[in-house]
């Protein structure tokens, strides 16, 4: 076993949703973001209705593909011979 002090990862996954009902404002914001090539970021006020709706309706268990990027990995052991 390794003792890890800090691990930071970026998880990206793809989800397909179908047969949806959503408020018109959410649809407008999703369309605008799509047309502009914008990402919808959490805690951003730019597309707040879309962000809220997406966070309520997307679940990681629904993902079709996912990938993990290691951002930072710090061991508790300073001199690791088997690193």
CA distance 17 to 63: 10
Would you tell me the crossing angle of helices 48-57 and 24-36 to the nearest 10 degrees? 100
At 6-22, the pLDDT tens digits run 999 998 889 888 999 99
With vertex at residue 48, the alpha carbon angle to CA 45 and CA 51, rounded to the nearest 5 degrees, is 125
What are the residue ranges spanned by the domains of the chain? 4-75
The model's pTM is 0.71
pLDDT one-digit tens code per residue, 44-82? 889 999 999 999 999 888 888 889 999 999 998 765 555
- Measure CA of the first residue to CA of the last residue in the chain; give whole Å: 13
């Amino acid at each position: 076993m390794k003792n890890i002090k800090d691990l930071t990862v970026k998880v990206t996954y793809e989800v397909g949703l179908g047969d949806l009902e959503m408020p018109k404002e959410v649809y407008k914001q999703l369309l605008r973001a799509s047309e502009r090539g914008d990402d919808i970021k959490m805690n951003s006020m730019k597309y707040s209705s879309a962000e809220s709706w997406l966070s309520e309706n997307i679940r990681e268990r629904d993902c079709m593909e996912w990938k993990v990027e290691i951002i930072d990995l710090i061991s508790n052991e300073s001199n690791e011979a088997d690193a």
